[in-house]
Structure 1
Amino acid sequence: MNIRSTPRVLAAASSALLALGAVTACSSDEVAGADPQRVDVVAAFYPLEFVSERVGGDAVTVVNLAKPGAEPHDLELNPGQVGQVSEAELVVYLKGFQPAVDEAVEQNGGERVFDVTTVQPLLDAAAGGHDHDHGHEGEDGHEEEKAEPAGKTDGAKDPHVWLDPTRLATIADKLAERLGTADPDRAADYTARAKALRTELEKLDAEFTQGLKTCQRREIVVSHTAFGYLTERYQLEQIGISGLSPENEPSPQRLAEVTEEAREHKATTIFFETLVSPKVAETIAREVGAKTAVLDPIEGLSADNTGGDYFSVMRSNLETLRTALGCS
């Protein structure tokens, strides 16, 4: 009897283990619908996770599709993540930034999506160039004729909208409206949290405005042109080694142009990013006698990142810029 019952015992034990494994997977994967008391939000990458957490508070569960420390442009979704997109009550994403997310949203998002590109028009992208006066230097103080920007890309838009704190505040306001639609009973709470976040972001904006007001230089040489919103907001100028995509290798001609411009503007620092190889930046720095430093576009953080959050990294960026530009 014991021998005959053994297969049944083994089958029961196997079923129990499979069930336990499924429970464990659910708890670690944070699948949508895990907490019926909260609104399930899927955020496409860190800045959107940050703003969703801050506006949603304890009324939401937020899942970030991008892994901490990974380049979000290159995100590929596994079947579980596609399932999260299809099951979420709200998907917060930036159309055109991550093709895999765009595809999942198109196939499974329906009306449950919040595309932050609809909040305000995006800036035109720059592909490694900048508006720069290449005419003859005048000594009479008159404004010189400017050449066409070297790196304008027809039709392409810059997605890095979160690097302007005032734009991120407006995104938070609109996100509060969307969460209020999904969860009317707590609409006032979402609005209040968005207002509090706006206050913090406006304070950060004031710090940047004051901190970058008086500087010896206003041009920043960056590994790729991710900083258009920051430079426009604070009257700086970015000189991109490569264009909008960090994967694009700059041509020898572009490297020569950037080296020349870095010398012309007496750049003391060539900036690279945490998720991009510093080799090209280091090469140009050696050529012009400059050093290198990290200017973080804040794409690959996570809510539990020990390296800081949006505010701390932005303030670190500010101090790095002040040092590089000789700001008083």
Structure 2
Amino acid sequence: MKTPALLLASSILFGATAAWAAPDVVVSIKPIHSLVAAVMQGVGEPTLIVEGAASPHTFTMKPSNARAVEGADLVFWMGPGMEAFLEKPLQALASDATVVELDDVDGLTKLPFREGGAFDAHDHDDEGHEHEEHAEGHDHAHDETAEAREDHHHDHDAFDTHLWLDPTNAKAMASAIEKALVDADPDNAAIYASNLETLNKRIDALDKEIAETVAPVKDKPFVVFHDAYQYFEAHYGVRVAGSVTVSPEAIPGAERVQEIHEKVKELGAACVFAEPQFEPRLIQVVTEGTNARSGTLDPEGATLTDGPDLYFELMRSIATNLKTCLSGA
């Protein structure tokens, strides 16, 4: 058997075909599929379940998805808080696979859900991170209206699973991905390790780039369609003032829309952001009679081509679209 060093050298010399056969890997959603694909480069390509502009919040498994899960050696997903549609199929079909729940790996910063359409802007320290009590699970003021309780059914100790929007979390997940791949496929361990090192360097460079991009507009409040951005907010110190609807499955009622409309006016919010997979008409209602502009953010890569570069395109597009709208460019 080749040593890891010789394996890496031969794979470089003779190309990816020199690597040992790749395990069958299935990944739930685009952002983490991108991280897995980056670690697997030169060995194989993972299969993506939620393709195209589909949303994990409303996704329905197809027979081809079920076959992929059933034949997988490894399955990566965020967890039931993100892909509820996948929980039962994993139990039924993935008995021979190693299932890695990435919202439960070591080294993650987890933030609690924020309930209610409008929430106060949060304090940030000098480095752009929220105070420790936020990361430790500090409760936010809850909207106690019946409408809010019906719209949002998370347990009080649950956390937001859009974890990849903090690049530090992305690196923690990438480390867990590499470990799982090495455990399943030790013959290609050297390639996975080299790819992880490259990926971490790219994420560090991206992190610095995004911080510089949003720095000129980080103090301008904005409203989002769906509260998916608090990890980006906490890491980079931008000011999310509220959301049109907390859960993308829920249609906000007239009271919620009026609440957000008043919040936009009260804060002088510079922008209200829709998402590509959701109906943007509500944004027009919320911004009517205000000075707020409208834009689009894509936290799950719905409009992007899947692959190892998607994570970087996703993060960069959020930063660029924020800067463009908030600066009035």
Q: Is the 8 A contact 1:173 1:194 kept in 2?
A: yes
Deviation at 1:174, TM superposition (A): 1.1
Any idea what the Cα deviations from partners look like across 1:255-277, whole Å, max 9, x if unmatched? 22211221122222210000011
Q: Is the 8 A contact 2:273 2:294 kept in 1?
A: yes
1:108-187 counterparts in 2 under 5 A? 108-110=93-95, 112-119=98-105, 120=108, 122-127=110-115, 128-132=117-121, 149-151=141-143, 154-187=156-189
Give the corresponding residue for 2:326: 325
Unmatched 5+ residue regions in structure 1?
1-34, 134-146
What letter corresponds to residue 70 of structure 1 in structure 2? A
Give the corresponding residue for 1:262: 264
1:228 aligned to 230, 241, 261, which one? Answer: 230
1:280-299 counterparts in 2 under 5 A? 280-299=282-301
SS of the aligned residue for 1:157 comes to coil
- Alignment: residue pair count: 278
| Whole-Å separation in 2 of the counterparts to 1:54 and 1:47 | 11
Any idea what the Cα deviations from partners look like across 1:192-217, whole Å, max 9, x if unmatched? 11111111111111122222234373
TM-score (norm 1): 0.77
| Whole-Å separation in 1 of the counterparts to 2:140 and 2:45 | 47
| Whole-Å separation in 2 of the counterparts to 1:284 and 1:327 | 18
2:63 aligned to 69, 79, 88, which one? Answer: 79
| Whole-Å separation in 2 of the counterparts to 1:40 and 1:302 | 23
Q: Is the 8 A contact 1:212 1:327 kept in 2?
A: no
Q: Is the 8 A contact 1:66 1:72 kept in 2?
A: yes
Instruction: Kindly indicate whether residue 214 of structure 2 is the aligned counterpart of residue 212 of structure 1.
Output: yes
| Whole-Å separation in 2 of the counterparts to 1:95 and 1:107 | 16
| Whole-Å separation in 1 of the counterparts to 2:35 and 2:304 | 12
Deviation at 1:301, TM superposition (A): 4.9
Rg comparison, structure with higher value: 1
TM-score (norm 2): 0.77
Any idea what the Cα deviations from partners look like across 1:118-150, whole Å, max 9, x if unmatched? 1125321123332349xxxxxxxxxxxxx9534
2:54 aligned to 37, 60, 70, which one? Answer: 70
| Whole-Å separation in 2 of the counterparts to 1:100 and 1:257 | 31
| Whole-Å separation in 1 of the counterparts to 2:76 and 2:170 | 13
Give the corresponding residue for 2:134: none
Q: Is the 8 A contact 1:218 1:235 kept in 2?
A: no
| Whole-Å separation in 2 of the counterparts to 1:248 and 1:263 | 23
| Whole-Å separation in 1 of the counterparts to 2:54 and 2:207 | 27
2:90 aligned to 105, 129, 133, which one? Answer: 105
What letter corresponds to residue 322 of structure 2 in structure 1? L
SS of the aligned residue for 2:57 comes to helix
Unmatched 5+ residue regions in structure 2?
1-18, 123-138, 144-151
| Whole-Å separation in 1 of the counterparts to 2:304 and 2:85 | 19
| Whole-Å separation in 1 of the counterparts to 2:170 and 2:306 | 20
Instruction: Kindly indicate whether residue 38 of structure 2 is the aligned counterpart of residue 54 of structure 1.
Output: yes
| Whole-Å separation in 1 of the counterparts to 2:98 and 2:222 | 39
What letter corresponds to residue 107 of structure 1 in structure 2? A
| Whole-Å separation in 2 of the counterparts to 1:100 and 1:206 | 35
Higher relative contact order (Cα pairs below 8 Å, separated by 6+ residues): 2
Q: Is the 8 A contact 1:66 1:300 kept in 2?
A: no
Any idea what the Cα deviations from partners look like across 1:24-58, whole Å, max 9, x if unmatched? xxxxxxxxxxx982211101011121111100113
Q: Is the 8 A contact 1:165 1:201 kept in 2?
A: yes
Deviation at 1:325, TM superposition (A): 3.1
Q: Is the 8 A contact 2:35 2:311 kept in 1?
A: no
1:38 aligned to 5, 14, 22, which one? Answer: 22
SS of the aligned residue for 1:72 comes to coil
Alignment CA distance shift 1:266-1:85 (3 Å)? same
Q: Which runs of at least 4 in structure 1 moved beyond 6 Å after TM superposition?
A: none
Backbone CA RMSD of aligned residues: 2.6
Alignment CA distance shift 1:77-1:185 (3 Å)? same
Q: Which moved more, 1:155-164 or 1:192-201?
A: 155-164
Q: Is the 8 A contact 1:211 1:327 kept in 2?
A: no
Q: Is the 8 A contact 2:76 2:99 kept in 1?
A: yes
Deviation at 1:300, TM superposition (A): 2.6
Alignment CA distance shift 1:327-1:204 (3 Å)? farther
1:252 aligned to 254, 259, 267, which one? Answer: 254
SS of the aligned residue for 1:60 comes to coil
